[in-house]
Amino acid sequence: MMRFHRSPERPGSSPALPPGLPSLATVMAVVMASTGPLPVLAAGRNLATTGSTSAPMTRLDATADLLANQDDSKTKTKDKDAKKKNQQQKNQQQKNQHSGSGSSSHTKDSGHSDQKQNLNKKQRERIYEKGYEDGKDKGLNRGYKKGNEAGYQEGFQKGKDKGLEKGYDKGWDDRKARDKDRWKDWDSNRWRDYNRRNRNIWTKRVVINNNYGAYPGWARRSGWYNNRPWGGNWYGGWSSPPWGWWAGQSIVWGVTALTTAAILNNAINRAITQRQTAIVVPNSNWQLYYGTVQPVQNSGVTFAVNNGYGTYQMEADCEQGLLNGDVPSTAAEAQLINAACQVTYGRGA
pLDDT score, position 81:
78
Residue type, 172: W
pLDDT single digits (tens) 84-97: 777 777 777 777 66
Mean pLDDT computed over 59-75: 61
From the centroid of its chain, how far is CA 5? 133
Encoded amino acid at 86, one letter:
N
Q: Which three-class secondary structure state does DSSP give residue 303?
A: strand
Looking at per-residue pLDDT, the higher value among 27 and 266 belongs to 266
In angstroms, rounded to a whole number, what is the distance separating the alpha carbons of residues 253 and 205? Answer: 28
Residues paired with residue 289 on neighbouring β-strands, in sequence order: 304
* Burial readout 248-275 (b: 16 or more C-beta within 10 A, e: otherwise): bbbebbeeeebbbbeebbebbbebbeee
Spatial separation of the C-alpha atoms in residues 245 and 197, rounded to whole Å: 17
* 51 pLDDT above the threshold of 60: no
Amino acid letter for position 325: G
pLDDT at 74: 67
Identify the pLDDT of residue 150: 77
Q: Which of 28-32, 114-118, 129-133, 291-295 has the highest mean pLDDT?
A: 291-295
Higher local confidence (pLDDT), 255 or 10? 255
pLDDT score, position 82: 77
Residue 342 has pLDDT above 70, yes or no: yes
Q: Please state the pTM of the whole predicted model.
A: 0.53
DSSP 10-39: PTTPPPPPPTTSPPHHHHHHHHHH--SHHH
- Which is more confident, 303 or 175? 303
Residue type, 318: C
**Mean pLDDT score, 74-86:** 75
Give the model confidence (pLDDT) of 187-243 as tens digits.
999 999 999 988 899 999 999 998 998 899 999 988 899 999 999 999 998 888 999
- Mean pLDDT score across all residues of the chain: 77
pLDDT of residue 338: 98
Strand segments, DSSP code E, in the chain are 279-280, 287-296, 300-306, 311-317, 322-323
Q: Say if CB 219 and CB 228 are below 8 A apart.
A: no
- Looking at residues 275-303, what average pLDDT do you find? 96
Position 144 scores a pLDDT of: 73
Phi-psi region of 64 (alpha: psi -120 to 50; beta: other; left: phi over 0): alpha
What is the rounded average pLDDT of the residues 157-173? 67
Question: What percent of the chain stands above pLDDT 70?
Answer: 66
| Residues ≥6 apart with Cβ < 8 Å to 16 | none
Say which residue, 147 or 22, is predicted with more confidence.
147
Lowest mean pLDDT among 80-84, 124-128, 195-199: 80-84
Three-class SS of residue 316?
strand
Give dist(CA 326, CA 167) in Å, integer.
25
C-alpha closest to that of 19 among 55, 43, 45: 55
Rounded to whole angstroms, the Cα distance separating 137 from 166 reads 41
- Per-residue pLDDT at 29: 54
Is residue 282 scored above 70 in pLDDT?
yes
